[in-house]
Chains A and B, each alone.
Chain A
Amino acid sequence: GQNIDQPTEMTATEGAIVQINCTYQTSGFNGLFWYQQHAGEAPTFLSYNVLDGLEEKGRFSSFLSRSKGYSYLLLKELQMKDSASYLCAVTNTGGFKTIFGAGTRLFVKA
């Protein structure tokens, strides 16, 4: 089956850097997504990784290691508006389902 693990909560300070980890187990790995979700709102796409390495997009970067079943999302120059849940999601070739982790709730404090 598939399994995704993320920390439940993290707290960081405005202006700092935070790394949110995600480990997964799946057969036929076909890509990993990161989504941001503010409370009560829709998830919005942040990044997609299918090959090993780092993808950078402005203040956000995402890293993938397929051999380790591991990804992280790096948020730099944290802003108060970054307080949200960050969802790690994995797709596989065995079907057409995207499985989401439970999400990491990030609190950014002044």
Chain B
Amino acid sequence: DGGITQSPKYLFRKEGQNVTLSCEQNLNHDAMYWYRQDPGQGLRLIYYSQIVNDFQKGDIAEGYSVSREKKESFPLTVTSAQKNPTAFYLCASRRTGVPEKLFFGSGTQLSVL
């Protein structure tokens, strides 16, 4: 089955630690996105990438970093500079040229120990 796989489903971060969230898609989509979801605040865009080896900051990029070395993979690192990392993180992808339908993964819940 084609889709987006996010791992792990739950992740705990210690103070001062960097953690990396995995996102893999086998939909052959060009564009990939990371969103942060907090209760009552909807989905906020962290980073997005439209092609391999290129990515752009979204609305709340501070304290996060990404890479796009392969079309299928778009990992997100939550650095120690992100002071309030507890949230539900969603990865999404979209096929370029298709009306704006986003396909989402099942998310990773990150909590601070």
Q: Do A and B bind each other?
A: no
Question: Could you tell me which A residues sit within 8 Å of B by CB distance?
Answer: none
Question: Could you tell me which B residues sit within 8 Å of A by CB distance?
Answer: none
